[in-house]
Chains A and B, each alone.
Chain A
Amino acid sequence: MKLYMLFLLGKIGDYTLYYLEHAGRMNVFLGQCLWRILTPPYRIFPVIQQINFIGARSIFVIFFTGGFTGMVLALQGYYTLRKFGSEGLLGSAVALSLLRELGPVMAALMVIGRAGSAMTAEIGIMRNTEQIDALECMAVDPLRYIMVPKFIAAILSMPLLTAIFDVVGIFGGYLVGGFMLGVNGGTYFQGMYQSVVWNDVEMGLIKSLVFGLLIVWISTAKGYFLHWERSGGFGAEGVSRTTTSSVVLASVTVLVWDYLLSAIML
């Protein structure tokens, strides 16, 4: 019994130490990357390449998910609002949900799935095949060379993608509300105009900026520290496992931070 207790305590300590160490490593990594963003030399072309990958090539999926999110919001909202005879508020309901919550969160989840996973896998494979060691031995800073363009691109792209998501979503809601459910188009946009204030837009913007940073941080750090993974970051399976855990961690972190930011800003 005593031995078992000791074993248990040892395990708990072991895990605690590992996770503290990992958290420390990831935070130092974040600090180093942010410092390198601010200090020269600045490179434009790699950033544009990454904006193309993280931002531009995500537009299609953002367009689709945004449209359907707005449409289902209008559909669900309409039947609820009709019970109270306030279909006129449909526009403001759709717009506020999108701007404050669904836009930033859904766009972030889409970017995690599309670009975040790709970043973890790419960097993880580079780590596994000694490409990152090779860069270091050439006296080329891997953080500056690989991470910095991704950080800048993600932080710039997320608010823009969120904005696209919001606008497409609002028109998706109009499509369903106005054409299928017979809500007057003028009422839809008038209600929106009256209830949406700058604070709502700002909240979505700040959230999307924070989410952009969280996504790129977790995705790149997970790949970069693949060899420290407790479950073993070896070979193809190591990369796949780490990519999965990176997507899960990023998604959960985005939702937790969404709550925290809402609680602070509301």
Chain B
Amino acid sequence: MTEINSDDCQVVVELVGVEKHFAGQKVLSGVNLRVCEGTTTVIVGGSGEGKSVILKHMLGLVKPDAGRVEIFGRDIATATARELNDVRRDFGVLFQNVALFDSMTIFDNVALPLRERTHDRPQQIAARVDELLQMMDLPGVGAKYPAQLSGGMQKRVGLARALALNPKIVFFDEPTTGLDVHKSNEIYRLFHHTQARVGYTAVIVSHDVPKIFKLSDHVALLSEGVIQGQLTPEEFQRSENPLIREFVETTMGPIYSSEREEAAL
């Protein structure tokens, strides 16, 4: 089903037979996924299917019950804390609820990875933070606290923080959930812009279908605990797989029909 060969790309993330139980309930039952360097892979699926759980496996926050989670060829399921830390140096993460440090200013939030992981002088860090906030169209918010910003602005600060150290791979957990169309488009525009500039590999968990298809090189549907196929957006929409087909039809067919419309028919 998976139609990506390791021969024609540099594999960055590879999940092989990943299984996970939570309190006796099987969430993932043998997930296989492969992400190539420089590409954007979107994981879609219904709520509660375990999309975020897959992401947490890739981040090393959750260990699989069985299977391998390889990042740059290293299995992080069995890695020591130090090895895991080394792998994470190339990560950027935008969490679902952004997870900004709420008792720090926006400036300190974005500066934190720079302060902790580089030996840059304060002036250099300040310049970099300004540059990042400028890139996210957020000039002049440095002195504010996360709670003083709107949801969309918080997401952009989160993106600035995730990109502070020019990561090789960036994970997005529901980057546009809870934002209106305008704000979502803004996030997508920034995503495009920054990926073109930094050239990172992206893994996005989203259910903003079909809009998210425009950004993606590959779409993977998680259903019934396994990846139902990792295909290009065009292939995905034409797939014969009944589960994918059902997903495409429910999300992209007649998107919404009110009860009144139905009654009129």
A residues at B contact (CB < 8 Å): 122, 125-126, 129-131, 133-134, 136-141, 145
Contact = CB atoms under 8 A, between A and B. Distances in A.
A138 B117 CA distance: 9
Contact of B117 (A122, A134, A137, A139): A139
Contact of A137 (B86, B91, B102, B116): B91
B17 to A, nearest CB: 24
B95 interface: yes
A133 B84 CA distance: 13
B61 A133 contact: yes
B77 interface: no
B74 to A, nearest CB: 14
A134 B89 contact: no
Contact of B99 (A134, A141, A145): A134
Nearest to B87: A139
19 contacts: A125-B102, A129-B97, A129-B102, A131-B101, A131-B102, A134-B99, A134-B101, A136-B60, A136-B88, A137-B60, A137-B88, A137-B91, A138-B88, A138-B91, A138-B93, A139-B85, A139-B86, A140-B113, A145-B116
A137 B101 contact: no
B95 A133 contact: yes
B97 A137 contact: no
Interface string B59-101: 1110000000000000000000000011011010101010111
Contacts of B97: 129-130
Interface string B100-120: 111100000000110011000
Given A133-B61, A137-B93, 20 more contacts: A129-B102, A131-B99, A131-B101, A133-B99, A134-B93, A136-B59, A136-B60, A136-B61, A137-B61, A137-B88, A137-B91, A138-B93, A138-B113, A138-B117, A139-B85, A139-B86, A139-B88, A140-B112, A140-B117, A141-B85
A138 B102 CA distance: 16
Contact of B89 (A126, A131, A139, A145): A139
Nearest to B56: A133
A135 to B, nearest CB: 8
Nearest to B88: A139
A34 B102 CA distance: 27
A122 B102 CA distance: 10
Contacts of B113: 138, 140
A140 B117 CA distance: 7
**9 shortest A-B CB distances, which residue pairs?**
A130-B99, A139-B88, A134-B99, A137-B93, A140-B116, A139-B89, A138-B113, A139-B85, A137-B59
B116 A138 contact: yes
Contacts of B95: 130, 133-134
A54 to B, nearest CB: 16
A235 to B, nearest CB: 13
Contacts of B117: 138-140
A84 B91 CA distance: 75
A131 B93 CA distance: 12
B2 to A, nearest CB: 26
B106 to A, nearest CB: 15
A126 B86 CA distance: 23
Contacts of A140: 112-113, 116-117
Contacts of B89: 139
A35 to B, nearest CB: 12
A133 B91 CA distance: 13
Contacts of A131: 99-102
B85 A129 contact: no
B89 to A, nearest CB: 5
A133 B98 CA distance: 11
A134 B117 CA distance: 14
Contacts of B61: 133, 136-137
B22 to A, nearest CB: 13
A149 to B, nearest CB: 13
A129 B104 CA distance: 14
Given A137-B59, A138-B117, A140-B113, A129 B99 contact: yes
